[in-house]
Amino acid sequence: MILRDATLADAAAISELVSAEMRVHIGPLLQESGLQTLLANASIVSTRQRIRDGWLHIVAVDHHDLLAGIIVVRPPSHLYHVFVRSDLHRTGVATKLFTKAEVRVKESCGTGLTTVNSSPNSIAVYERFGFVPNGALQELDGVWFQPMIRPDAE
């Protein structure tokens, strides 16, 4: 598994992976309007814009040169999302991505990853990374999420 910074050339593969995983793992929890909101945020155009805007994008690429996972950080330290291809869940890809992103964020701003807005079904994953719920479950544009903070990110 190779971890590297994403480039604009990766935007289509990132969009495809994130959209597919959203449909399978988050979509069933949402009304159609919420899923459409998420998919719009995962579009190629949106992905390219975040890369251009300097958001940290680290991809995991498997030995067949296929995208295995992605982590995105909104500066300075908000974990925007982590997605791993379904066939690679529970293989450590997310942990590798998180660890690399954590190092990069600490280098750039002096603190680790501090916040995330978790889908309800991913709360346990983020808790394993040290995040804890911060307030009540919220809804925005049809998308439900749990705000979380990481108190030991320093």
* pLDDT, tens digit (0-9, with 9 covering 90-100), for 36-53: 877 888 889 999 999 999
* pTM of the model as a whole: 0.89
Mean local confidence (pLDDT), 117-127 = 89
Burial group, residue 39, by CB count within 10 angstroms (0-12, 13-18, 19+) = middle
Task: Report the share of the chain in percent with pLDDT over 70.
Answer: 99
CA distance 51 to 89: 25
Model pLDDT for residues 92-101, shown as the tens digit of each residue: 899 999 999 9
What are the structure tokens assigned to 24, written together? Answer: 């399978």
Domain 2-108: CATH class, spelled out: alpha beta
pLDDT for the residue 73: 95
What are the structure tokens assigned to 19, written together? Answer: 């959209």
